[in-house]
Amino acid sequence: MNVLLTTLLFAVALAIVYIARAVIVIFVFSILFAYLINPIVRFVQRHSLLFKNLRGPHVAEAYFALLIFIALIAHVLVPGYLGRSSKLIQQISVWSDRLATGEIATDMGSKYGWSDTQTRRLRTLLVQHRPDIQNAMGATQRFATVSIGAVVVIPILSIFFLSDGENLANQVIQLVSTKDNYARIRLLADELNVMLHHYIRAKVILGGLSFGYASIGMLILGFPHALALGVLAGILEFIPIAGWMIAATTIITFGILSHCPWIWMAALLGVWRMLIDYWIAPRVMGRELEIHPLLAIFTLMAGGAVGGFVGVYLALPIVAALRVVWRRFASAAPTSTVTTGRLPSSEDSGRLVPAMNQVGSAGPTILEGIPGQLKQS
């Protein structure tokens, strides 16, 4: 009866998680965004002359500084390109309709001097795949709508985690713990906190590398506003899959509108994508999260196959969190003595006693170092 009840409760919990998966994902991204902004809040609070004991005003200051930074980037990029960019966006919808109906084949045939047979083949191919093209366009529009809503909601929810996240964590720990395991769960929460800090630091490193690579490439090729576009590429590196697509599209669009060698820039961005996805990111994430680079690549690919771009973003922190939980509870599990069919001899005692003395002398040193490491992280 107890087994059946446990299985039923587990199934109900999985069903609730599946139904509320969109809300859970938004809250998870809000927590990660709070970890990203938290160093700025702590820096402002540390160097502030007023309200050092209050966290709310410094959260508002950090958000205000972030809005000013975004406004400066937009001010640098928008002037002179707003009209042409809006026209280009309007033309994209027209091109998508002509692509679905196959009319774009006629335009391409007349432009590049194709024969009637080649034009007819392309038109037939597009008409045959018209449902797929329309489904792709619809999925893109739905994704854009959800993304815009998430961009608005996630920073708002992050304010609550930044302002009162420590009290919320303490309440959760008290809710799920007992007197016997409170210390163990508290230490587990501290380790998970350190792991998330390392994950965000790895994302910041990857964003900085993308900023440097894109900026240097555009400066060499003579792109206008190369640094501002590089900052945009670095920021969008935090968004999996869609982020680098948006950054690459923006950079190439600016290159086309400015009559710069955008083809070379597109090739450079393609090379960088291969490097960062299959060489740089696995090593940076593996070093910060203590995961082997090959396991990091497998985790990213499996996360993308299971959950799309959300799976790509959350796969590594989930695996790292499971690793922390497993290591903590495995180390806390009671060890059993294995009988070998004989009593311990004097030689066994001679080997065990020094080893136990070494462990006993090293134990307090290790435990004393943990709070310091957590504080530094």
Summarised one tens digit per residue, pLDDT across range 277-292 is 888 888 888 888 888 8
pLDDT at 208: 92
pLDDT at 335: 47
Range of the domain at 47: 17-82
Residue 249 maps to a domain:
yes
Residue 372 maps to a domain:
no
Is the model's pLDDT at 360 over the cut of 60? no
- pTM for this predicted structure: 0.68
Residue 359 maps to a domain:
no
Is the model's pLDDT at 66 over the cut of 70? yes
Residue 36 maps to a domain:
yes
Is the model's pLDDT at 371 over the cut of 60? no
Residue 232 maps to a domain:
yes
Q: Could you tell me if residue 241 is left (phi over 0), alpha (psi between -120 and 50 degrees) or otherwise beta?
A: left
Max distance between CA atoms of the chain, in angstroms, equals 96
pLDDT at 267: 92
Is the model's pLDDT at 247 over the cut of 60? yes
**Across 161-175, 198-212, 298-312, which has the greatest mean pLDDT?**
198-212
User: Any idea which of 197-201, 273-277, 364-368 has the lowest mean pLDDT?
Assistant: 364-368
Is the model's pLDDT at 178 over the cut of 50? yes
pLDDT at 216: 93
pLDDT at 162: 86
Residue 53 maps to a domain:
yes
Same domain, 61 and 123: no
The fraction of the chain above a pLDDT of 70, given in percent, is 75
Of 285 and 123, the one with more pLDDT: 285
Same domain, 169 and 292: yes
User: What's the average model confidence in pLDDT over 121-134?
Assistant: 76
Same domain, 103 and 69: no
Confidence of residue 268 (pLDDT cuts 50, 70, 90): very high
- Torsion angle, alpha carbons of 57, 58, 61, 62, to 10: -140
pLDDT at 172: 84
Q: Considering the chain, what is the average pLDDT of its residues? A: 76
Is the model's pLDDT at 242 over the cut of 80? no
User: What's the average model confidence in pLDDT over 37-66?
Assistant: 81
Confidence of residue 114 (pLDDT cuts 50, 70, 90): confident
User: Any idea which of 52-66, 110-124, 184-198, 338-352 has the lowest mean pLDDT?
Assistant: 338-352
Of 328 and 184, the one with more pLDDT: 184
Is the model's pLDDT at 318 over the cut of 50? yes
Residue 128 maps to a domain:
yes
pLDDT at 210: 92
User: Any idea which of 83-87, 112-116, 313-317, 369-373 has the lowest mean pLDDT?
Assistant: 369-373
Same domain, 213 and 315: yes
pLDDT at 354: 45
Query: Of 61, 82, 103, which residue is a domain's last?
Result: 82
Confidence of residue 72 (pLDDT cuts 50, 70, 90): confident
Long-range contacts of 217-221 (CB under 8 A, 24+ apart): 217/265, 217/268, 217/269, 218/251, 218/265, 221/255, 221/260, 221/261, 221/264, 221/265
Residue 348 maps to a domain:
no
Is the model's pLDDT at 219 over the cut of 80? yes
Same domain, 322 and 213: yes
Is the model's pLDDT at 345 over the cut of 50? no
Is the model's pLDDT at 92 over the cut of 70? no
Taking the C-alpha atoms of residue 106 and residue 2, their distance in angstroms, rounded to an integer, is 69
Count up the domains in the chain and report the number: 3
pLDDT at 367: 36
Residue type, 108: M
